[in-house]
Amino acid sequence: MEDDVLQSAQDWRSAGRGVALATVVETWGSAPRPVGSQLAIDENGHFAGSVSGGCVEGEVVTQAMDVIADGKPRTLEFGVADETAWRVGLSCGGRIRVFVEKVA
């Protein structure tokens, strides 16, 4: 799957689109995707891959659009209590840290 994500990012850049790449860089407790999982996002909001799920992934896409626009990388951290974990896309509580950078 990782190769597909990077291929999508490369294809979108080759087509002249702005692209960001989000990578899970740390997890604590339970997380739906392991460290190294990636999500490619283009300037039109298309995406390939996965860094989490639910509301977390939606927020990563939103932040990636800002990264594409201003070129400034961001480190995002998400964490929730066990009782609300499923609702926002983290399977059993836990936290994740995601680094989002523009693809040059």
Q: How far apart are CA 102 and CA 95, in angstroms?
A: 23
Indicate if the pLDDT at residue 83 is higher than 60.
no
pLDDT over 80 (residue 86): no
| Whole-number Å distance between alpha carbons of 56 and 18 | 22
pLDDT at 6: 95
Q: Residue 23 — pLDDT band, cuts 50, 70, 90?
A: very high
Query: What pLDDT shows up at residue 79?
Result: 78
Q: What is the amino acid identity at position 50?
A: S
Closest CA to 5 of 28, 31, 24: 24
> What pLDDT, in 10s, does the model give residues 30-70?
778 899 999 999 999 999 999 987 778 899 999 999 999 99
CA distance 17 to 79: 31
pTM, two decimals, is 0.85
